[in-house]
């Protein structure tokens, strides 16, 4: 009875890490420090995001190419179709294929501010992520992951319509979904139940976001419920990064423990290019680096 909550978790999990392409040399060094620390945990894949409207096209490619060249990790390149023609997207995808990259996270992307939050497809572009998946699969046999929203995408007509859309993306050839971050674990489990009832059997990886800035999380949480307990948990920590980091690791680790107890074995971490929290949470779940586990 006095054993810690995490005692005995065997680490029989699959993990993946998300990074973003660095802007400066200093950020590049930080990213590679994180990759070097996390690689021994043997993630199934590591993904690299694509800046709004394709703004990091070259940097995403350079980051993915460096991962291919310098590590044995399997990279997944994010690719969005907003503000791009189908030909432009095919060219980006071809460059990935030629560089040996076989996994794409296919996304629509957010509409630019000038369109006042309304998505307007490029005249020669794709109308949605589902169409992008079809286009990518026609081009090459990429492994494709797509986005899912346990608390419903803000532009969706309804939760059912959003789930239909997820099903279309998987029917188009995607083999897994990765969720938007969430703090209500119950909302994720309810979503899994609904997805299963809708005939979705592909894995839906929970996207775990350890809180680094509570204000930023609030800004990014369009439809994501921030439970009262969380507001209370981060109260007074805005100017205290040390304690905030520890509290946030505990919160995210406890979320993972609840997910684990509910049967989840796949975990996708939004690392924000920092290793400590993701590493600590994987450790608590029982995961050990290759050299110890071997």
Q: Is 18 a catalytic residue?
A: yes
Q: 287: which 2 tokens?
A: 């995961």
Query: Would you say 145 and 176 are in contact if contact means Cβ atoms under 8 Å apart?
Result: yes
Cβ count near 27 (within 10 Å): 13
Asked if 153 is part of the footprint of ligand FAD (rule: CB under 6 A), the reply reads yes
Q: 271: which 2 tokens?
A: 């690392």
Asked if 225 is part of the footprint of ligand FAD (rule: CB under 6 A), the reply reads no
CA–CA separation, 162 and 38 (whole Å)? 33
Half-sphere exposure of 175 (CA within 13 A, CB side): 10
With a CB cutoff of 8 Å and minimum separation 6, the contacts of 230 are 183, 251
Minimum CB distance to ligand FAD, residue 124 (Å): 17
Among 31, 38, 101, 107, indicate the residue that binds ligand FAD (CB under 6 A). 107
> How many residues belong to the site for ligand FAD (CB under 6 A)?
24
Identity of the residue, 75 or 245, whose beta carbon is nearer to ligand FAD in the bound complex: 75
With a CB cutoff of 8 Å and minimum separation 6, the contacts of 236 are none
Cβ count near 230 (within 10 Å): 18
Distances (CA, A) of 3 to 9, 12, 212, 260: 12, 20, 29, 17
Among 31, 34, 129, 249, indicate the residue that binds ligand FAD (CB under 6 A). 129
Asked if 266 is part of the footprint of ligand FAD (rule: CB under 6 A), the reply reads no
Asked if 208 is part of the footprint of ligand FAD (rule: CB under 6 A), the reply reads no
Binding mask 166-205 toward ligand FAD (x if CB under 6 A, else -) reads ---x--------x-x-------------------------
Asked if 67 is part of the footprint of ligand FAD (rule: CB under 6 A), the reply reads no
Asked if 16 is part of the footprint of ligand FAD (rule: CB under 6 A), the reply reads no
Element (DSSP H or E) covering residue 34: helix 25-38
Minimum CB distance to ligand FAD, residue 83 (Å): 10
Q: 139: which 2 tokens?
A: 């081009």
Among 6, 68, 88, 110, indicate the residue that binds ligand FAD (CB under 6 A). 110
Interaction site with ligand FAD (CB under 6 A): 49-50, 52, 78, 80, 105, 107-110, 128-130, 147, 153, 155-156, 161-162, 165, 169, 178, 180, 207
Positions marked active-site: 18
């Amino acid at each position: 009875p006095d054993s810690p909550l995490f005692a005995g978790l065997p680490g029989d999990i699959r993990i993946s890490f998300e990074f973003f392409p660095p802007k400066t040399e200093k950020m590049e060094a930080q990213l590679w420090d994180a990759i070097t620390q996390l690689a021994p945990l043997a993630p199934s894949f590591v993904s690299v995001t694509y800046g709004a409207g394709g703004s990091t096209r070259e940097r995403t490619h350079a980051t993915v190419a460096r991962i291919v060249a310098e590590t044995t990790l399997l990279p997944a390149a994010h690719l969005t179709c907003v503000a791009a023609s189908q030909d432009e997207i095919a060219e980006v995808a071809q460059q990935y294929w030629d560089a040996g990259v076989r996994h794409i996270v296919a996304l629509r992307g957010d509409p630019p501010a000038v369109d006042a939050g309304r998505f307007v497809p490029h005249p020669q572009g794709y109308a949605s992520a589902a169409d992008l998946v079809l286009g990518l699969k026609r081009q090459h046999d990429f492994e494709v992951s797509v986005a899912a929203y346990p608390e419903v995408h803000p532009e969706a007509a309804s939760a059912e319509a959003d789930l239909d859309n997820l099903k279309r993306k998987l029917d188009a050839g995607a083999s897994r979904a990765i969720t938007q971050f969430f703090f209500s674990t119950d909302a994720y489990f309810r979503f899994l139940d609904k997805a299963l009832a809708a005939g979705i059997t592909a894995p839906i990886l929970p996207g775990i976001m350890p809180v680094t800035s509570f204000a930023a999380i609030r800004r990014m949480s369009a439809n994501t419920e921030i439970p009262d307990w969380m507001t209370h948990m981060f109260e007074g920590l805005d100017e205290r990064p040390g304690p905030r980091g520890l509290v946030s690791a505990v919160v995210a680790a406890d979320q993972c423990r609840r997910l684990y107890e509910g049967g989840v074995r796949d975990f996708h971490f939004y690392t924000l290019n920092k290793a400590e929290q993701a590493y600590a949470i994987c450790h608590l779940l029982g995961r050990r680096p290759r050299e110890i586990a071997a």
